[in-house]
A and B are shown apart, each in its own frame.
Chain A
Amino acid sequence: MTSVESRWARVGALFSCRPASTTPDIERLLIETTHSLQSNARLLPIAVTWLATYGNFVARQRLRHLAREAAPEEQAALGLLIDFAIAHGASEDLRLCSRDCNPLLAPGPLFEIHRRSAALLRLAESSTHDIARRWGLWTPFPDLKHDAIRPVEWLLAHNPSLRERVVRKGDLRCSIIETLRHDTAGESPSETQLARSTGATRAAVRASLHALLQEGAVRIARNPGGRGPRVITLAA
C-alpha cells in the first residue's frame, strides 16, 4: 500500500519521499489524510494548501458521500480541513464536502503528539483556533505552504487524468466519473444506483449524465423496448 505522503507527492506536495507510481484517488486520499495526519502533523498544512490551491480538482459530491461513511474522528478532521482551506481562500463550494460531517462530542487534540504529556495536552487546547474548536479538535491555525506545492503545469503533466476534473470544476459530473472509475468498476446498473453511489439526487444525476453523454464521457445502454433501468458505463 502506497503511503499517504507518497500519494500527496504524486499530486504535487513536496514531500521528500518517492511519489506514488499512479495518480491517486483524490477523495479517498483526503479521507485517509484525516486519519494519517493524527500521526503526521505536516499533512495538515500540506492538505490545506493543496485544497486552497487545487480545490477544483476535488469531486465534491463524491467526497461528501465518502465522508458519510467515515469514522467520527475522520469526519471532524475533514470538516476542519475544509474550513481551514476556505479560511485560506479555497472556494466556498468545498463546504458541500463536509455538510454531513459532525464535530466530535468529546473534544481532544488533533495530533497524537500532544498526548505525550499533560503539559502538551494543555498547550494543544490553549493554542486551538476557533475553527478547530468548532469541530471538537485542538490545533492551531496552519500557515499555508505554497513553497511546498508544485505548480499546476507539473501536476497535470504527471497526472493527465486530473485534467478532466478541473475542466468540470469538481461538479457532479466529476463525481459521477470518479465514482464509476473508482467505486463501481466502470459501470453502474442504473441511474438510481448511481444516485445512491454518489449520494446525489436522481434528478441531478440524470441532468449530469445528459451532459456527460454529450461530452462523450459515458455511454448509456438502453434496454430493448426502452423500458427498465439504463446501464451506465465509462467511455473508453
Chain B
Amino acid sequence: MNLDSQHIHLALRRTAESLGPQDTILQIVVGGGCAGLLAGLLAADRTTADCDVYWSGDAGQWDAIAEAARATARQLGLPPEWLNRDCSIFAWCLPIGWQSRCVRVAVFGSVEILRLSRLDLIAAKVISAPRRPQDLEDLFAIKPLDTELDEVEQHIDRLESEDLDRREYVAERAIVAALRGAP
C-alpha cells in the first residue's frame, strides 16, 4: 500500500481509532511534504508520505498518539516512526500566526487533523531549503505568488532581526529572489 492522500487519511484514522476516546480533542498539525500532498500542492511521486507533525500539547498525550501510530504501522507495514513530531522544534521558523491559519483536514474520533496553510508551508520550506534541496524543488513546484513571497520576506526580516547570533539569512533571500525569477 502506498501512502497517497487517501491512504494518509486511512493511516491517521486507524491511529485515532487505536488511540480511542480522549477527554479532549487532540489537534495534530501536519507539515512537510505530507501537508503539501494533502493540500494538492505536491505530486505523489515527488513526496514521501511520512507525517511530520507540529505538536504543542502534553508529552503524555503525544506518547499515547505515538504508540497508536506504531500500532497502525504494524497493521499497514509502515515505518514505525511514520508519524513523528521531529519538526516541532522548528515551529519557531514559522510565520507569526501560523496556528490560526492551519487548514482542517479531518476529524477522526478525538483527533483533529490540521495541516499547515499554503503560506506557512512555503515559508517553512524557504527556511529549510538551503540545506534541503528537495524543499527547493518543492518551492518551484508550488510556484509561490509574489504576494506570498512578500510575506515570506517580511518573515525573514523578523527572523533575522530576532536572531541572537545575528545570522544573516542570505541563502533564504537568494531563494526568494530565485523564486521571483531573478537570474
Tell me the minimal C-beta distance from A141 to chain B in angstroms: 8
Most buried by B among A116, A122, A127: A116
Provide the bound-state CA to CA distance between A126 and B170, in Å: 12
User: Are A146's CB and B81's CB within 8 A?
Assistant: yes
8 A Cβ contacts from B116-173 to A: 130-134, 136-137, 140, 171
- Output the nearest chain B residue to A53 by Cβ-Cβ distance: B79
Q: Which residues of A contact B50 (CB under 8 A)?
A: 14, 145, 147-148
Provide the bound-state CA to CA distance between A118 and B47, in Å: 27
Q: How would residues 98 to 130 of chain A score, 1 for a CB under 8 Å from any chain B CB and 0 otherwise?
A: 000000000000110110111110111011000
Chain A interface size, as a band, is: 35 or more
User: Are B79's CB and A127's CB within 8 A?
Assistant: no
Tell me if A96 is interfacial: C-beta within 8 Å of chain B. Answer: no
Provide the bound-state CA to CA distance between A140 and B130, in Å: 9
Provide the bound-state CA to CA distance between A33 and B131, in Å: 20
Tell me if B56 is interfacial: C-beta within 8 Å of chain A. Answer: no
Nearest 9 A/B pairs, CB to CB: A154-B77, A119-B174, A16-B44, A17-B45, A41-B133, A148-B48, A147-B50, A42-B134, A41-B134
User: Are B82's CB and A127's CB within 8 A?
Assistant: no
Also in contact, A123 and B174, with CB within 8 A (given A16-B4, A140-B132) = yes
- Output the nearest chain A residue to B8 by Cβ-Cβ distance: A16
Tell me if B182 is interfacial: C-beta within 8 Å of chain A. Answer: yes
Partner of A119, one of B84, B133, B182: B182
- Output the nearest chain A residue to B77 by Cβ-Cβ distance: A154
Tell me if B106 is interfacial: C-beta within 8 Å of chain A. Answer: no
- Supplied contacts A16-B37, A147-B50, 5 more A-B pairs, CB within 8 Å: A17-B45, A120-B178, A140-B130, A148-B79, A149-B79
Chain A residues in the interface with B (C-beta under 8 A): 3, 5-6, 9, 13-19, 40-42, 44-46, 110-111, 113-114, 116-120, 122-124, 126-127, 139-140, 143, 145-151, 153-154, 157-158
Provide the bound-state CA to CA distance between A3 and B44, in Å: 12
Q: Which residues of B contact A145 (CB under 8 A)?
A: 48, 50
User: Are A18's CB and B175's CB within 8 A?
Assistant: no
Provide the bound-state CA to CA distance between A180 and B137, in Å: 39
User: Are B178's CB and A153's CB within 8 A?
Assistant: no
Provide the bound-state CA to CA distance between A162 and B48, in Å: 23
User: Are B2's CB and A122's CB within 8 A?
Assistant: no
Tell me the minimal C-beta distance from B152 to chain A in angstroms: 16
User: Are B140's CB and A116's CB within 8 A?
Assistant: yes
User: Are B2's CB and A19's CB within 8 A?
Assistant: yes
User: Are A14's CB and B140's CB within 8 A?
Assistant: no
Tell me the minimal C-beta distance from A146 to chain B in angstroms: 6
Most buried by A among B33, B46, B134: B134
Tell me the minimal C-beta distance from B96 to chain A in angstroms: 26
- Output the nearest chain B residue to A16 by Cβ-Cβ distance: B44
Q: Which residues of B contact A40 (CB under 8 A)?
A: 46, 134, 137
Provide the bound-state CA to CA distance between A118 and B181, in Å: 11
Partner of A151, one of B79, B84, B137: B79
Partner of A42, one of B4, B47, B86: B47
Q: Which residues of A contact B82 (CB under 8 A)?
A: 14, 147-148
Tell me the minimal C-beta distance from A129 to chain B in angstroms: 10
- Output the nearest chain A residue to B52 by Cβ-Cβ distance: A147
User: Are B137's CB and A15's CB within 8 A?
Assistant: no
Q: How would residues 51 to 67 of chain B score, 1 for a CB under 8 Å from any chain A CB and 0 otherwise?
A: 00000000000000000
User: Are B2's CB and A9's CB within 8 A?
Assistant: yes
